[in-house]
Amino acid sequence: MKQIAFVTGGTGFVGSHLVEELLRREFGEVRCLVRTDPKWLSDLNVTYVRGDLSDVEALWTALDGVTHVYHTAGLTRAPDWEPFYEVNVQGTLNLMGAVKHAAPDLERVLVTSSLAAVGRCEAAIATEKHPLQPVSRYGRSKAEMEEALHDAHNMTESYWNALPITIVRPAAVYGPRDDDILDFFRAVQRHFCPIVGSGSKRTLSLVHVHDLATGIVDASLAPSANGETYLLGSDRPYAWNEIKQAATDALDTWAVSLPIPPLLVGAVGILAGGWGTLTGTYPPLNRDKARELRHACTACTINKAAHDFDYTPNVPLAQGVATTIDWYRDEGWL
CATH number of the CATH domain containing 230: 3.40.50.720
Does residue 40 belong to any structural domain of this protein? yes
Q: Is 295 in contact with 133 (CB distance < 8 Å)?
A: no
Does residue 247 belong to any structural domain of this protein? no
Q: Is 226 in contact with 163 (CB distance < 8 Å)?
A: no
Pairing of strands 29-34, 47-50: parallel
Does residue 123 belong to any structural domain of this protein? yes
What is the model's pTM?
A: 0.92
Q: Is 103 in contact with 61 (CB distance < 8 Å)?
A: no
Q: What are phi and psi of 71, to 5 degrees?
A: -100, 95
Structural domain harbouring 60:
4-178+205-235+299-314
Give the count of beta carbons closer than 10 Å to the beta carbon of residue 15: 27
- Residues 6 or more apart whose CB falls under 8 angstroms from that of 280 comprise none
Does residue 217 belong to any structural domain of this protein? yes
- What is the structure's pLDDT at 257? 87
- What is the structure's pLDDT at 259? 78
- What is the structure's pLDDT at 62? 95
Q: How far apart are the first and last CA of the chain?
A: 46
What's the domain count of the chain? 1
Does residue 151 belong to any structural domain of this protein? yes
Does residue 38 belong to any structural domain of this protein? yes
Does residue 309 belong to any structural domain of this protein? yes
- What is the structure's pLDDT at 281? 60
Q: What is the mean pLDDT of each run of 10 residues along the chain (334 residues)?
A: 94 97 96 89 93 94 97 91 96 96 96 95 87 92 97 80 97 95 91 72 90 99 98 95 95 88 58 56 61 71 98 98 97 95
Does residue 305 belong to any structural domain of this protein? yes
Question: Angle CA(123)–CA(124)–CA(130) in degrees, nearest 5?
Answer: 45
At residue 35, what is the residue type? R
